[in-house]
Every structure is written in structure tokens, then in C-alpha cells.
Chain A
Amino acid sequence: MTVRVACFARIRELAGAAELERSLPAGTTAAQCFAALAADFPALALLAASTRFVRGGAFIEGAAELRDGDELGLLPPYGGG
């Protein structure tokens, strides 16, 4: 299946792109998708525990399985205010 990954802030800088496309095995979870990216961009591993996942405008757990055509948003720790 193919998943589009939207990277924000520090994650975007570390991945070198705001949007990436990844071909992943069916049943891949959000956290596993992040781990696959971290394999390509090792500095991302530091954010593995603190990144929040978003799909279709709603937060999802890292254990949530992705579906073909999903857009997965990766949100690093916040810094507003």
C-alpha cells in the first residue's frame, strides 16, 4: 500500500521534505511507518517516543494500522505560546 506522510516543523527539516510517499506492507502501523522513515533519516529516531500521529484531521495511536491512500501527519513536540 502507499501512504503519504506529511512532516511538520523539526520532522520536516530532518526528513528534508514536507511530504513524502512510502510503499509499505499492508497492516503497517503509524509507529512502524515512522520507524521506516527513521531508518532513512536516523536523526528522527530521537523523536520516536514524542511524535504524535494524525490521520484525516484526527489524532491516532501509534498502534493504529494504516490503509492504502492514507495521509499520515507526523507532529513533533509542540512549542506554541
Chain B
Amino acid sequence: MFDIVEAPFDMAALVTAVCEAGSGGLVTFVGYVRDRSDEGLPVEGLHYEAHRELALAELHKVGTEAVERFGIARIAIVHRVGELVVGEAAVGIAVSATHRGPAFEACQFAIDELKRRVPIWKKERYVAGDARWRENA
């Protein structure tokens, strides 16, 4: 399951999507909208947007690579776009594997690669009223 969604997503659906009888380990990661920027400015929310076609293709590639590289069973990645407020989930990842080690590693790999490779953009909206595009390092 790989998706770019405009409404809140259900982590339980991601877990269900990767569940299978041969997997003894299941790892999830959820990225939330924080109430402070890296500089400590009070944040009201985040605006996310994506190049939908390319982002979906890149999510698929990241998932396929995670399976090949770590020998995991299944992986699901969902990223939300639109206007999000503090406390809402922006990205969800679920990974299942025979054992926990590869599941943890693949989950870390997936979020790192997503931030680096998937064409999604984020603008921080501050409580003070201004806003700023934020780039991943």
C-alpha cells in the first residue's frame, strides 16, 4: 500500500495491509506535525503538497528497495498532503518481517529515503502569521 492522501489516514489500515502469518515482527513509524519549528518558533500547522504521479512512483520504488534490501515481508507508506494542524499525522509507515531487526531497519530506511527522494514539499505556518518552505537536509 503506497498512497498520497488528502484526508487523515488510519494507521490501523496500514498495519492490516502488512500483516501476514509469516511475520513475527511489525514496526510502524508515524510522523506528526510538531508545535515548534527547529528554531523554536510556535507552529500553527503545515502545508504539504506533492507531485502526485512522481511521488507515488517514488514511494513504490522505496518500498520495493526496502523489500529487496532487508528481506522484509511487506511495507506500506502513506503521506498526507494539504493543510495539517499540530498533532495530525503527516506520514505513516508500516513494515512486517519474519524478525524485528529487518523490520526496524527497513522502516528507518523508508522514512530516510522518503525525505530524500520523494517529491513532496512542506511549508511551515507559524502562530505569528508568517510561513516558510522547509527543505530536508
Range of interface residues on B (Cβ < 8 Å): 20 to 34
Q: A8-B119, A76-B121 are in contact. Are A81 and B136 (CB under 8 A)?
A: yes
* B114:A81 contact, CB within 8 angstroms: yes
Q: Which residue of A lies closest to B119 (CB)?
A: A75
Q: A8-B121, A9-B133, A75-B119 are in contact. Are A81 and B31 (CB under 8 A)?
A: yes
In the complex, whether B130 has a CB less than 8 A from a CB of chain A is no
Assess whether A79 is in contact with B135, with CB atoms less than 8 Å apart. Answer: yes
Residue numbers in A under 8 Å from B54 (CB-CB): 54, 57, 75
Chain A: CB-nearest residue to B135: A77
A80 within 8 A of B: yes
Q: How far is the CA of A81 from the CA of B91 in the complex (A)?
A: 6
* A80 and B133 form a contact (CB under 8 A): no
Q: What string of 1s and 0s marks CB contacts (under 8 Å) between B35-55 and chain A?
A: 000000000000011110111
Given contacts A9-B133, A10-B133, contact A79 B51 (CB under 8 A): no
Give the chain B neighbours of A13 by CB distance below 8 A. Answer: 133
Chain B 58-79 near chain A by CB (<8 Å), digits 1 or 0: 0000000000000000000001
- The contact of A78 among B90, B91, B136, by CB within 8 Å, is B136
- Residues of the A chain whose Cβ atoms lie less than 8 Å from the Cβ of B51: 8, 54, 73, 75
Q: In the complex, what distance in Å separates the CA atom of A78 from the CA atom of B116?
A: 7
Interface residues of A (CB under 8 A from B): 8-10, 13, 52, 54, 57, 73, 75-81
Residues of B within 8 A of A (CB): 31, 48-51, 53-55, 57, 79, 90-91, 111, 114-123, 133-136
